[in-house]
Structure 1
């Protein structure tokens, strides 16, 4: 069975993607900071799909935790797909740059960029020997568009996009995709813009087919927008937050 690792896998997009991959027979390594919620998710997936799911609670900014994640994948036979989904905003709710706490920006960069690269570095030996090794990083339109209050988070995602682009050039044997999923009804968005909490947004489950299309068709590495992947021919480009 192929093995996928998903950070931030206990809820939202990570949980939705985990369920879809489990349904297709993937074994999973899931990470999240809240152990109880993570174990509940893992237990549900095991019971529903009969797949192997290893829950590894912790913070991706912790190097020892990243080592534990890769070791867990090794216990399942290796690693074929790494999904870097864990993110923090830097401020909740989001604020203008003139009010953004610098410590919050550091936290966003540490989690969204530094830890993501650290996990890739740890996982590369396993990904390189996979017949279909791939890395997915979750981007945002805020990485490319100047939305007020999204500056710190957007800067971290722009940096992540660039790391993914360079990784794809340096590791031609892998597929490396940065994916902008578009607006979704998630806890992260609710924390970012609580005044919009009642607005109707797509569910994380609605964009999962875009990610599955990448995994199945394995197009060239690059930056993709989930709405475009859902609408027609595989194409790169932007999208919504």
Structure 2
């Protein structure tokens, strides 16, 4: 691969970027000229996102699953081709590792073990594996890792055992990574309830129109990038400029 000079504009790699919070964050960063590597499982959705965002900035879009080794390697290579990643957003996740088909979230007593395994693969192992691949780029650019968490990681909700346990594991992995990589910013962020397809799948048949849209969470995430507070776990609802403590990095 040719040596590419470090660009003046930063690079973000966002998983789960075809809809919801991932897409809204990509839109915000694209507006500011960030170069983007975006991915999601659905080819049609990620191509639609690429078509929209490429009018604003340089966008590389790739459909695929982040549990696939080859797909993660492709994403890392594309980020390197753009000059190296400044921000990794591990946003892609799954509720139960399989299509709920309108059924309620499974209790742990009934959780199909293949689905539980897939939940941990998507929500924990794949983000760690992708981070491992990108660490050389992140170190070179003193970058940041943003892992999307959930209140289910710290609260015990019936039916949320698999998802919550996987997000708790991701939170702890984020904290350990921060201790091991002090030159990087590593944030785990609970965005709060949002009006998304995944949230609707968790509450089949219920009206979730009172939940805020994902775009309302983006300013909190941008505050992290702007103020670069200490690595740690944050709630988006608490991310106000006055509450952020600069690290001096």
Give the corresponding residue for 1:94: 105
Q: Which runs of 4+ in 1 moved over 2 A?
A: 195-199
Give the corresponding residue for 1:69: 75
Q: 2:118 aligns with which of 107, 118, 121?
A: 107
1:13 aligns with 2:21: yes
SS in structure 2 at match of 1:201: coil
Structure 1 residue 196, shift from structure 2 partner: 2.4
Give the corresponding residue for 2:179: 169
Residues 228, 234 of structure 1: 8 Å contact kept: no
SS in structure 2 at match of 1:19: helix
Residues 83, 135 of structure 1: 8 Å contact kept: yes
Q: CA RMSD in A?
A: 1.3
Once residues 222 and 213 of structure 1 are traced to their aligned partners in structure 2, the CA distance between those partners, rounded to angstroms, is 14
Counting matched residue pairs gives 232
Give the corresponding residue for 1:30: 38
Pick closer, same or farther for the CA change 1:197–1:104 going to 2, 3 Å. farther
Give the corresponding residue for 2:6: none
Give the corresponding residue for 2:148: 138
Residues 223, 241 of structure 2: 8 Å contact kept: no
Once residues 241 and 36 of structure 2 are traced to their aligned partners in structure 1, the CA distance between those partners, rounded to angstroms, is 28
Structure 1 residue 199, shift from structure 2 partner: 3.9
Give the corresponding residue for 2:5: none
SS in structure 1 at match of 2:60: strand
Residues 59, 65 of structure 1: 8 Å contact kept: yes
SS in structure 1 at match of 2:12: strand
Q: Which blocks of at least 5 consecutive residues in structure 1 are unaligned?
A: 236-241
Residues 209, 230 of structure 1: 8 Å contact kept: no
Give the corresponding residue for 1:234: 244
Once residues 207 and 42 of structure 2 are traced to their aligned partners in structure 1, the CA distance between those partners, rounded to angstroms, is 23
Structure 1 residue 193, shift from structure 2 partner: 1.2
Residues 14, 22 of structure 2: 8 Å contact kept: yes
Residues 143, 155 of structure 1: 8 Å contact kept: yes
Once residues 223 and 76 of structure 2 are traced to their aligned partners in structure 1, the CA distance between those partners, rounded to angstroms, is 25
Once residues 198 and 84 of structure 1 are traced to their aligned partners in structure 2, the CA distance between those partners, rounded to angstroms, is 25
Q: Which blocks of at least 5 consecutive residues in structure 2 are unaligned?
A: 1-8
Q: 1:152 aligns with which of 158, 162, 171?
A: 162
Structure 1 residue 194, shift from structure 2 partner: 1.3
Structure 1 residue 120, shift from structure 2 partner: 0.3
